[in-house]
Amino acid sequence: MAPLRIGIAGLGTAGLAFVPAIRGNAALHLAAVADPDSAVANAHGVSAYADLAAMLAHRGLDAVIIATPTPMHVAHAAMAFAAGKHVVLEKPMATALPDALAMANAAEDAGLTLVVGHSHSFDLPIQRMRGLILGGTLGRVRMVNTWCFSDWMYRPRRADELDAATGGGVTLRQGAHQFDIIRLLGGGALRRVRAQTFDWDPSRRAIGAHSAFLEFAGGATATAVYNGYGGLASSELCAGIAEWGSFEPVTHPSARVAPTDIAQAKRRRAAASDKSDPPFQPHFGLTVVSCERGDIRQSPTGLIVYSAAGREEIALPSGNTPHAMLLAEFQRAVAGTARPLHDGHWGAANLEACLAAIESSETGEAVTLHHQVVLEAA
């Protein structure tokens, strides 16, 4: 079977992360890229275009990855579906829930595959946690707790990345990962969200932190905590392992680090880390699942299970990047060998949870959800 020929629209951090994942999968072929920066677009040795509209005319293109700014997603997805292309859509899916639901329905009506990502529920430890849950030996999930601390607010940002109205801020951009993880491990269907979001740096106005309490339809609960203001780093809670599976030495500054210094430090760490072949398992903060007969958490090399049988370590293979796993799910769906879990309706349900957290903070009330997706048993 011929490889699936893919184009990437938008070569920022999100779009570029897909390049090694495509080139590492023999079933995929990077056919074209599109970015308004011609120097960036021409750096990949494939056909380069200024925008998505031009790239969609590329002969033989089967699918596109839309990694453009969130406000462009609705129009860009519509263009891709009209051209008969399958789509991987970056998170957050849209700025408004009706738009997300419309995109999900449009893909189905056109008979095309839509997968929403990247999200950290594609991390191999999270995927294996779900496998253990489905195995049933630990009983039902009762609690999922995921906490992440980073310098997200002080990294280089476009204006739209900080404005909730255009899909920006920690809750929409990083909560999308957390609620996706929680929903995957808890069965998919959240019932209610109560949250508080925070904007506490007047020099960098945006939602920079949140604390959310989530209830599942089946009675399980979850917490999602994210602080993006650059104090504690999650790697300090995770044996020094950072988001992409690299070792990140922990430092303890005696005073607050200036935003520009944090951004420079982050760029140096990114330059020193090869996301295509991480030495450890990725840690998007600390995630702990509590079941009726035991707990599961991540370790640098896999998972640790605590039960009446004792403490069991489960080693997982390295090198399975979340972007590679997303594209494998996408390729199987296009080939018709498996239905995608992270389809448009799943992505819309994640967005609903993010928007509910913001609404709850504004109103002081819990928000009931209406567009959730129940996971199949296996």
Q: What integer pLDDT is reported at residue 32 of this predicted model? A: 98
Q: Which tens digits make up the pLDDT trace of 152-199? A: 999 889 999 999 999 999 999 999 999 999 999 999 999 999 999 999
CA distance 181 to 224: 10
* Mean pLDDT across 256-272: 45
Residue 319 reports pLDDT greater than 90 = no
Residues 106 and 186 in one domain: no
Confidence of residue 275 (pLDDT cuts 50, 70, 90): low
Q: Which residues of 263-294 are buried (b: 16+ CB within 10 A; e: fewer)?
A: bebbeeeeeebebbebebbbbbbbbbbbbeeb
* Mean pLDDT across 245-260: 56
Between the alpha carbon of residue 201 and those of residues 25, 208, 258, the distances in Å are 43, 8, 12
Is 376 part of any domain? no
Which domain range does residue 49 map to? Answer: 4-119+321-343
Q: With CA atoms as reference, report the closest residue to 356 among 210, 199, 155.
A: 210
Q: Are 154 and 263 in contact (CB under 8 A)?
A: yes
Residues 132 and 190 in one domain: yes
CATH number of domain containing 74? 3.40.50.720
Beta strands 63-66 and 4-9 are parallel
pTM of the model: 0.93
Between the alpha carbon of residue 63 and those of residues 4, 15, 21, the distances in Å are 7, 14, 15
Q: What integer pLDDT is reported at residue 223 of this predicted model? A: 98
Edge-to-edge strand order for the sheet containing 86-89? 47-49, 28-34, 4-9, 63-66, 86-89, 114-116
Residues 247 and 144 in one domain: yes
Number of domains the chain is built from? 2
Residues 295 and 220 in one domain: yes
- Given CA atoms 7, 91, 338, 146 in this order, what sign does their dihedral have? positive
- CA 133 and chain centroid, separation: 21
Q: Which of 37-51, 114-128, 228-242, 273-287 has the lowest mean pLDDT?
A: 273-287
Is 373 part of any domain? no
Residue 240 reports pLDDT greater than 80 = yes
